[in-house]
Amino acid sequence: MDHPHHYRTNLRDIEFNLFEAYRTQEYLGEAPFDQMDEETVRDVLREMDRLAREDFAASFVESDRTPLELNHGEIELPYGVQKSLDAVYEGGWDRLGYAEEIGGFGAPPSLSWAVEELLVGANPAAYFYVSGSMMASVLAEVGTPEQIERFVKPAIERRWGGTMVLTEPDAGSDVGAGVTKAIQVEGDMYHLEGVKRFITSGESTYHENIMHLVLARPEGAGPGTKGLSMFVVPKFIPNEDGSPGERNGVVCTGIEKKMGIKGSATCELTFGMTTPAVGWLVGGVHDGIRQMFRVIEHARMLIGLKSAATLSTGYLNALEYAKVRKQGAHITQASDKTAPRVEIIQHPNVRRMLMEQKAHAEGMRALVYYAGWLQDQERRFPDDDSWARRNDLLLPLIKGYSSEKSYYLLSQALQVFGGSGFTMDYPLEQYIRDAKIDTLYEGTTGIQALDLLFRKIVRDQGETLSSLAAEIMEIVKGGAAGDVFEVERELLGTALEDVQGQINVMISGLMASQASPEEIYKPTLHANALLESLAEVVIGWLLLRHAEVAHLSLEGGEDAFYEGKIASARYFARTVLPKLKLRRELAEIEDASVMAMPVEQF
């Protein structure tokens, strides 16, 4: 059974986040977002909601069931995927987030992420061909004026594809071990030689040209990530007018056969095999890893958003099924063999699973859109770096927590369908396959956890974390809704203490490791648990803020949506936050014995 209309959006919750919880309308229509007032943003959201459900979701199944084939170094995308992409490009939606000076609409980040949620939830494999536009955005920020003229402008005008090229077969996540080399020809022009692997959208004939942003090591450069530089390597060397000229020496030499997101071409790219692969040193400076991190950070947030979007539609599909599928008597009448059959949403276990999905789906959306709001503020107040620092603290939570939790909860959504969920009659099995990759690429969960601990907490001396904790304490002390959420506020306060206790244990382990290196095992064994705890405190806080907004909006009236927001916050506070105590205690009693075990005992 084909299910092009698999996609269930939650436009009401997206608008609630943007306009009720984070109140973007208070600054929309003003610099730097002059072009985008509230009315325009709402119009964009309505149209993208339609386009995502209809045009973009239409090739969801086709992209999964039509194997991509590599013919003489080229990949032709399935017809339906091309049609889905046409709908985005023909509407100019790929330009939404670009700065106006390079031909974009200058949308605030909060709106760009909302649009990305709708598209990446509808058809993640197809969306990756569009998200190449972020390469042009980054090159616009860090490229030389000549590079902007030669690559960025035609990339936007002529709808080029784009890739981030980091991974190598032997280096994997250890990007600094990369051996692809760059040989200077003259000035900023180099020839690249080497093999890269797992390159998303590395090849397709859909785009007339593809802009590869490649990390390579110039001859004589030092080891590790610091010795890497970033190069722009086009598939075709562009002519003066931007049209594709001669074929460059970067060729797709293999495609991966994958568990999920099968419609997304994941390529091995070989540079300089038969003809030179010409690349230009980005910005004319050797600053590769810092430049690439602009792409990496956007990609990490996109993947966290992808996970959350897939969970949301998975939950809404399960909810719809649970409301109509009749099976079994009500639990209170279980012994009566003549009792009527009830919809499965009446069964306690099904309700529990649905509520867990609902609270987390709304919580992850709250987290992503809060980061989008922070990025808006960063643009509004460029001289204040506190916005960027808080956003950076949240990124490993968005990427790591959302990907892990969504994968688990999507299996719960499938569970609601019973055996039917295991068939291809429903989209859940594809959601799960498409979502598993989210815990792996753009930095595995373990890498996100180390980034959180070492980069975002320790290197910052806990400053950004402390300012966030102080803000969370404000709502713990008392909220706008009086005593209505007293229990939840207390649970949030306890959870905040638990996460701080967990951090203290880990910091003391890190300090002790300076004298005896083995002490580093204790905090690093609990890094993933810390990521989980911190994400849940932040989500618990945001859901409680949202519940207060919903409570004040109800004003004695009835509205199932607002009442559902309150229910999500209560459920999360009462069933998720108490788990933080156990994680703290486990960190406190850790003896690192697992690290002392001889390998033979495994």
Q: Which of 251, 228, 266 is nearest to 441 (CA)?
A: 266
Q: Are 288 and 215 in contact (CB under 8 A)?
A: yes
Q: Which of 185, 206, 436 is nearest to 303 (CA)?
A: 436
Handedness of CA 447, 453, 457, 459 (dihedral sign): negative
Q: What confidence tier does 2 reach under pLDDT thresholds 50, 70, 90?
A: low
Average pLDDT over residues 354-367: 98
Q: Are 199 and 267 in contact (CB under 8 A)?
A: yes
Q: Which CATH class is domain 11-139?
A: mainly alpha
Average pLDDT over residues 17-45: 97
Q: What pLDDT score was predicted for residue 132?
A: 82
Is 442 known to be catalytic? yes
Q: What pLDDT score was predicted for residue 5?
A: 81
The structure tokens listed for 255 are: 């495609």
Average pLDDT over residues 132-151: 94
Q: What pLDDT score was predicted for residue 422?
A: 97
What is the amino acid identity at position 341? R
Q: At residue 479, does pLDDT exceed 90? A: no
Q: What pLDDT score was predicted for residue 51?
A: 98
**pLDDT tens per residue across span 273-330:** 999 999 999 999 999 999 999 999 999 999 999 999 999 999 999 999 999 999 999 9
Domain layout of the chain by residue ranges: 11-139, 159-286, 444-595
Q: What confidence tier does 169 reach under pLDDT thresholds 50, 70, 90?
A: very high
Q: Which of 114, 116, 67 is nearest to 94 (CA)?
A: 116
Q: Which residues pair with 341 in a beta bridge?
A: 329
**pLDDT tens per residue across span 42-72:** 999 999 999 999 999 999 999 999 999 999 9
Q: At residue 1, does pLDDT exceed 60? A: no
| Helix, coil or strand: residue 126 | helix
User: Residues 62, 356, 429, 442: which is the catalytic one?
Assistant: 442
Length of the chain: 602
Average pLDDT over residues 388-406: 98
User: Which pTM value belongs to this model?
Assistant: 0.97
Judged on CB neighbours under 10 Å (0-12, 13-18, 19+), 519 is middle
Judged on CB neighbours under 10 Å (0-12, 13-18, 19+), 337 is exposed
Q: At residue 478, does pLDDT exceed 80? A: yes
The proportion of the chain whose per-residue pLDDT surpasses 70, expressed as a percent, equals 99
**pLDDT tens per residue across span 213-239:** 999 999 999 999 999 999 999 999 999
The proportion of the chain whose per-residue pLDDT surpasses 90, expressed as a percent, equals 95
Q: How far apart are CA 278 and CA 289, in angstroms?
A: 20
* Cα separation values, 532 from 355, 423, 471, Å: 19, 31, 19
- Calculate the CA dihedral of residues 565, 569, 570, 575 and round it to 10 degrees: 130
DSSP 143-210: S-HHHIIIIIHHHHHTT-EEEEE---TTTTT-GGG---EEEEEETTEEEEEEEEEEEET---SSSS-E
Q: What pLDDT score was predicted for residue 454?
A: 96
- Choosing among 3.40.50.20, 2.40.110.20, 3.60.15.10, 3.40.50.300, the CATH entry for 159-286 is 2.40.110.20
Q: What pLDDT score was predicted for residue 100?
A: 87
Q: Which of 102-111, 447-456, 549-558 shows the highest mean pLDDT?
A: 447-456
Q: What pLDDT score was predicted for residue 29?
A: 96
Q: What pLDDT score was predicted for residue 556?
A: 81
Average pLDDT over residues 254-277: 98
Q: What pLDDT score was predicted for residue 4?
A: 60
Q: At residue 99, does pLDDT exceed 90? A: no
Q: What pLDDT score was predicted for residue 3?
A: 61
Report the mean per-residue pLDDT for the chain: 96
Q: At residue 265, does pLDDT exceed 70? A: yes
Q: Are 140 and 99 in contact (CB under 8 A)?
A: yes
**pLDDT tens per residue across span 545-572:** 999 999 999 988 899 999 999 999 999 9
Q: What confidence tier does 73 reach under pLDDT thresholds 50, 70, 90?
A: very high
Judged on CB neighbours under 10 Å (0-12, 13-18, 19+), 518 is exposed
Q: Which residues pair with 233 in a beta bridge?
A: 212
